[in-house]
A and B are shown apart, each in its own frame.
Chain A
Amino acid sequence: MRLTERARHVIKDSVSEIFGPSAIVKLFCSRTDVELKGGDIDLLIECPAPVAESGLKTAKVSARIQRQLGQQKIDILCTWPGAPLSPVHISAIKNGILL
Chain B
Amino acid sequence: MNASGKLAEAKNRFLATLEIVRRELVVLKYSHGRLFASDIDPSWVEHLETNMDDAEKLEAFVSRFGRTQDTIGDKLIPRALSALAEKTSNVLGNLNRAERLGWLASVDSWLVARDLRNRLVHEYMIDANQFAEDVVSADRQLGSMQPRRRCAFGHIQPQPATGWDAKIWRRVEIRGDITIQVWGVPTTNSVAATLE
Contact = CB atoms under 8 A, between A and B. Distances in A.
A46 to B, nearest CB: 15
A41 interface: no
Contacts of B90: 70-71
Contact of A85 (B111, B123, B126): B126
B128 to A, nearest CB: 9
Interface stretch (B54-62, B130-138, B156-164, B166-174): B130-138
Contact of B115 (A63, A77, A88, A89): A63
Contacts of B92: 66-67, 70-71
Q: Report, as a range, how many residues of chain B touch the other chain.
A: 20 to 34
A4 interface: no
Query: Main SS of the interface on chain B?
Result: helix
B124 A63 contact: no
A67 B116 CA distance: 16
Nearest to A78: B130
Interface in B96-137: 107-108, 111-113, 115-116, 119, 123-124, 126-127, 130, 133-134, 137
Interface string A72-99: 0010010000011110110000000000
Contacts of B137: 53, 55-56, 59
18 contacts: A54-B133, A55-B116, A55-B119, A55-B130, A56-B141, A58-B115, A59-B112, A59-B116, A60-B108, A60-B112, A62-B111, A62-B112, A63-B108, A67-B107, A67-B111, A71-B90, A84-B130, A89-B124
